[in-house]
Amino acid sequence: MALNRRNFLELAAATTALTAVGMQTARAQDADTLRMGIAANGPRHSDPNLTTQGSDNWATEQIYEQLVRPDDGRFALTPDEYLPTLATEWTQSEDARIWTFKLREGVQFHRGYGEMTSEDVVFSFERAINEGTNRTILSNIDSVVANGPYEVTITLKQPDVNLLGTSIFNNNTSIVSKKAYEEIGGEAFATDAVGTGPYELVEFDPEFGTRLKRFEDYWGEKAKIANVECVYIADTTARTLALLSGNVDIIEAVRAPGWIDSILQRDPTLQIDMTTPGSFNTLHINLTRKPFDDLRVRQALMHAIDRPAVAQALAPMGGTMAGLQPDFFPAGFKIEDLPEELQYPYDPERARALLAEAGYPDGISFDSLCSQREDYSSTMLIVQEQLRLAGFNMNLQIIDHTAYHADNRSDKNTLAMHSSSYPPIPTQIYFQQLASASEVKADGSGGGNYSHYGVAMPGIDDLLAQALAATDYETYIDLCEQIELQVLRDLPLIGLSTLGFTAVRRAQVDLGYPVESGYARWRFHRATKTV
């Protein structure tokens, strides 16, 4: 490759970044160490009850476990697809309010902290309920009680036929050692870790990242690779070049148009692992901002956005949604299965006609905020151009990612893009982004309902309450499908696209299973590496 000025500067940036985290090329050739380059400036927490940064969860995924989990590399689409993990079996009452779990005997905590018992499970759940980052989701739990050393009963305030997905397979309800937490202390435990997983923590370095080693007393099949290093490389160029040079084995991909094609051109042997759907990219329409309080304007907006084209621009990571759920999720619809009036095909002329009918024959202009992060900015710039052709002049103000989320939380946006990852539990997105209880507040104290749906106009609260109270799965799904249709009629929120969480690895690394769906991290205990 000829070294032009751009190549030279890229290489210099990569070298500087890699030197800063103490990397050595020779170590990347070690078959007993798997090194992952993560898109962040550094770790913040190794306590699973505190992590809000997806990048931290790459480490906690290796260290901690829950009572149940899906098979590696995929979501559980239905409750019967969850596998025994720290629990060996479980039962639920007919009304889905009382759940009893039998615990696996002989499970050892890291660093000699002894056998996991019901005392640790009760402690972990109570801490998550009282202090965790998912307290809202876990607020339905009334009590967690030990029935001897190897059995726990969880009693709910309201039925939850999806408890395994909503609360049991949850980062916050990972099982920690009560003894370790009390001895280490809560503040120190935030950057320490004592779990039951296939790897245990060796070092938590806010500059480098986290180092892990195989836990030799693991209850299941021992990890095949002895060491894992989660190296934090925020700079996209440095992270890309670290992979191409062999300094890391796997990286979080750059979620921007054309990046996958570009890196495969440079090394066609690289392997792509991608979750489907990954993140849900939604577009919140602020119903308190004129003229978006007019349904005709919101319908025009829907016809003005070419959602398949947005997904195609982000290919192969992008995917389309007819509503708010991917079509293979339990409550999802295919476009062709929707009533014709709720399909909203791309039609700029129809959009202009609706704007004229609403009293805006010359179109409308409005300001909107956007994050500078590559997936947000690239998506919204595409949307901006599509809207212009239909008579919407969106003045896009691109700002810092952290500031963007703070402004959204303070109700300062008109058309807010939001990216979140959800399991196939449809009520989670409804509760977090559409319920009146989650309405955004100007003082920042509210939730993620940036549209004011259910307050500025009637919403889906009654249907959601019925779904959450359902005692059988079929009724639950039927009510969720009704919510999907109601949202498509009212249009407070647009399912813009999905964007797969993607990692790229060297051909020498085999994960040991295919990645199909799931959160933005996966386990390495089955992985192998050749040199």
Six-digit token string for 361: 């024959």
Of 306-320, 356-370, 398-412, which one has max mean pLDDT? Answer: 356-370
pLDDT at 28: 54
In terms of domains, do 507 and 495 share one? no
What is the chain's mean pLDDT, rounded?
90
Locate tokens 């906690």: which residue?
60
- Residue 28: which CATH number? 3.40.190.10
Residue 138 or residue 199, greater confidence: 199
Q: Is the pLDDT of residue 64 over 60?
A: yes
Coil, helix or strand at residue 485: helix
CATH number at residue 165: 3.90.76.10
Q: What is the mean pLDDT of residues 170-195?
A: 93
Q: Are residues 408 and 363 both part of a single domain?
A: yes
Is 153 inside a domain boundary?
yes
What is the number of domains present in the chain?
Answer: 3
List the CATH number of the domain containing 492.
3.10.105.10
Whether residue 279 has pLDDT greater than 90: no
For residues 332 and 468, membership in a common domain is answered with yes
Q: Are residues 257 and 301 in the same domain?
A: no
- Give CA–CA dist 230/277, Å, rounded: 24
364: tokens are 């409308």
CA distances from 350 to 311, 323, 390, 398 (A): 22, 20, 8, 29
Regarding whether 204 and 89 lie in a shared domain, the answer is no
Query: Do 255 and 155 have their domain in common?
Result: no
The pair of three-digit structure tokens given for residue 479, joined into one six-digit string: 């009510």
Residue 16 confidence (pLDDT): 42
What's the average model confidence in pLDDT over 190-200?
94
Q: How many CB atoms lie within 10 A of CB 50?
A: 20
Judge if 104 and 28 occupy the same domain.
Answer: no
Task: In whole angstroms, give the CA distance from residue 322 to residue 343.
Answer: 7
Residue 189 in any domain: the answer is no
Same domain assignment for residues 494 and 506: no
Is-contact 450 415, C-beta < 8 A?
no
Domain span at residue 394? 279-499
Note whether 427 and 468 are same-domain residues. yes
Confidence at 521, pLDDT banded by 50, 70, 90: confident
Evaluate whether residue 184 is within a structural domain. Answer: no
pLDDT digits (tens, 9 = 90+) for 80-103: 999 999 999 999 999 999 999 999
* Strand bridging mode 250-252 / 364-371: unpaired
Domain boundary among 149, 179, 209: 179
pLDDT at 18 > cutoff 60: no
Residue 507 lies in a domain: yes
Asked whether residue 327 falls in the same domain as residue 476, the answer is yes
- pLDDT by residue (tens digit) across 308-354? 999 999 888 889 999 999 888 999 999 999 999 999 999 999 999 99
Q: Is the preceding peptide bond at 159 cis, omega within 30 degrees of 0?
A: no
Element holding 239 (H helix, E strand):
helix 236-244
C-alpha distances in angstroms, 376 versus 140, 263, 325? 33, 21, 19
Size of the chain in residues: 531
- pTM of the entire predicted model: 0.82
150 and 225 fall within a common domain: no
**Residue 239: Cβ-neighbour burial (10 angstroms; 0-12, 13-18, 19+):** buried
Answer yes or no: do 463 and 324 share one domain.
Answer: yes
Burial of 456 (0-12, 13-18, 19+ CB in 10 A): middle
Could you read off the pLDDT of 448-493 as tens digits, one per residue?
A: 899 999 999 999 999 999 999 899 999 999 999 999 999 999 999 9
Structure tokens at 185: 């202390």
Q: Is the pLDDT of residue 236 over 50?
A: yes
Looking from the CA of 94 toward its CB, the CA atoms found within 13 Å total: 0
